Amino acid sequence: MAGVPITARGVSMTYRARGGDVEVLRDFSLDIQTGERISVMGPSGAGKTTLLALIGGLEAVQAGTITVGDLELSTLHGDALANYRHRTVGFVFQHFGLLGNLTALENVELAMSFSTGSSRVRRERAGFLLDAVGVAARSHHRPAELSGGEAQRVALARALANEPSLLLADEPTGNLDGTTAEQVLDLLDTVARDHECTVITVTHDPRVANRSDRIVRLASGTAPK
């Protein structure tokens, strides 16, 4: 596993709303080096999360091009796009995104269930990852039984399950207190370094942003400053 370079050129994004179209990104361009860790900052509505969704293949590119490694995302659809998300991208959400009806171990296993592999191997790897992020003792607890910090660690383990080249974190400490946030950020730094993956973090928090190699600031509906 190694990071991937990312190139965005002339990306624009407009949402249709009842009150009229909302232009979130306009003619946006960006280059990210292999293994680089960047933070995206900006006011609400500036398009930070949209940028993350576009690079992560959660949103179709309307205009412009985004290239991740040698993949041009606008050419990917359906299963190919799902495959890209599965094999290349690891997501860490502000709300953790853990499935409440599954245990921590099963949540990590689930991320591996969309590719071939025996359930035994998946279970072993999930256990290894939970151990690596320091929540092995909570493997059989459900998300509701975990603290915010523990839940985010489980989410991080899940994001790493398929050895992604690209780690996308959307406000990863937004729901955590200061001390826990620091611990999660330390862990994020460690796994990013160990796994050599490219990391994009969307945040409002300067302490989070200052940990990255570079900060990209978005103004409302504009190209980066």
Give me the residues that bind other proteins (CB under 8 A), please.
49, 52-53, 56-59, 78-79, 82-83, 85-87, 89, 91, 93, 95, 97, 99-102, 106, 110-111, 113-115, 158, 161-162, 170
Residue 135: count other Cβ atoms within 10 Å of its Cβ.
Answer: 24
Instruction: Find the shortest distance in angstroms from Cβ 115 to other proteins.
Output: 7
Are the C-beta atoms of 156 and 133 separated by less than 8 Å? yes
CA angle 91-21-30, nearest 5°? 45
Please, which residues have CB within 8 angstroms of residue 31's CB and are 6 or more apart in sequence?
5, 6, 7, 8
Looking at the Cβ atoms of 28 and 93, the one nearer to other proteins is: 93
Closest to other proteins by CB, 63 vs 182, is: 63
Give the shortest CB-73-to-other proteins separation in angstroms. 13
Q: Which is nearer to other proteins, 162 or 173 (CB)?
A: 162
> Of 58, 175, 56, 160, whose CA–CA distance to 107 is shortest?
160
117 three-state secondary structure:
coil
Chain mean position to CA 137: 25
> Is 23 or 186 the residue whose CB approaches other proteins more closely?
23
Shortest reach from residue 97's CB to other proteins, in Å? 4
Distance between CA atoms of residues 77 and 80, nearest Å: 6
**Please, which residue, 22 or 178, has the CB nearer to other proteins?**
22
Q: What is the closest distance, in whole angstroms, from the C-beta atom of residue 89 to other proteins in the complex?
A: 8
CB of 139 to other proteins, least distance (A): 16
